[in-house]
Amino acid sequence: MAKGPRLSTLSRVAAPARSVAQRFGLLLLMATAIALLILGKTHDDGVRQMRVMAIEVAAPILEVLSAPVISARHGIVELQNFWSTNRDNEALREQVARLVKWQTIARNLEQENASLRALLNPAHDPGAMFISARVIGDTGGLFVQSVLLNAGRRNGVAPGQAVTTALGLAGRVVEVGQRSARLLLLTDLNSRVPVVVEQSRHRAVLAGDNSARPRLTFLPANAKVSPGDRIVTSGHAGVFPPGLPVGIVSSVSEGEARIQPFLDWSRLEYVTILRYRALPQADILRRDGLGASTLQAQSQAQAPSTGKTVEAVP
């Protein structure tokens, strides 16, 4: 019976205090915030020491309170990594399955090719020798697009040799010194490269015109070239080895095809010079000597019957 009056008395006493706290609580918090701002701007040693002590006291508390948040964040990152890894693994499994299929096909074709080559006994092109060089200067301009290389005659470089990179054909050597050489780029106006459309095997000549995209010339009238077709060297004229990647067809308009080279000219740093000849020089001389000697023998055999001497054409 005594608790009821006692509780009602406490309620009557606490009600004014609660109303005062609700009325002046916001003002008290604003005053506290302003005081903390003023103390933060104060450079007094005592205030600075108090600030350091407050930070030292609050730092462990904040660290404990932030630990669950950090753990949850790491858990979310781990889940995302697990999901992306699982997805990448599925894609890699599909890719491996496709590659295994193509590997089997490639092995069968390789064995078939080896068997057919053994039956036919074809003549193989000589292997190219490689000379690595670095681009040391850009000698290009509005009318000439070429670069200087730090390899020359003493390294075995000769005019006309093909120059490639890991991406594709860059051009050919046009001038050679003892320690340097000049590379004429594919985009130069004087550049002409025998090429072939990889899929249709139509032959053409890649002609530079000082633009970023050289054009295909001397295409057959019935040639069908589409954007995206790969262009490689044909190996004709014996200067460039066959099959070197050049670029892809970027546009075809009004019977003119433009090529986007694989090479990024702004990142041309290191190149490979190919010492390649489709027919060795000794064979050329031997063939010319045999032709001259044969013609001279024929002229000597015909001389008694006609009474005239026929000179061999050198």
Res 71: pLDDT: 81
Res 78: pLDDT: 85
What's the confidence (pLDDT) of residue 223?
84
Cβ count near 176 (within 10 Å):
21
Q: Is residue 267 part of a domain?
A: yes
Strands 256-261, 270-275: pairing is unpaired
Q: 26 in a domain, yes or no? A: no
* Average confidence (pLDDT) per 10 residues, the chain, 314 residues: 53 64 72 74 69 74 76 83 85 90 90 83 68 84 80 91 92 93 92 92 92 90 88 86 92 87 89 78 47 45 38 33
Does residue 15 sit within a domain? no
Structural domain includes residue 10: no
Number of domains in the chain: 3
Going from the C-alpha of 260 to that of each of 33, 192, 193, 257, the distances in angstroms are: 66, 15, 14, 10
Task: Tell me whether residue 252 is exposed, middle or buried, using C-beta atoms within 10 angstroms of its C-beta: 0 to 12, 13 to 18, 19 or more.
Answer: middle
* Partners of residue 149 on adjacent β-strands: 135, 181
Tell me, yes or no, whether 97 and 176 share the same domain. no
Both 116 and 152 in one domain: the answer is: no
Does 11 fall in a domain? no
Q: Where are the alpha helices (DSSP H) in the chain?
A: 3-41, 45-120, 281-306
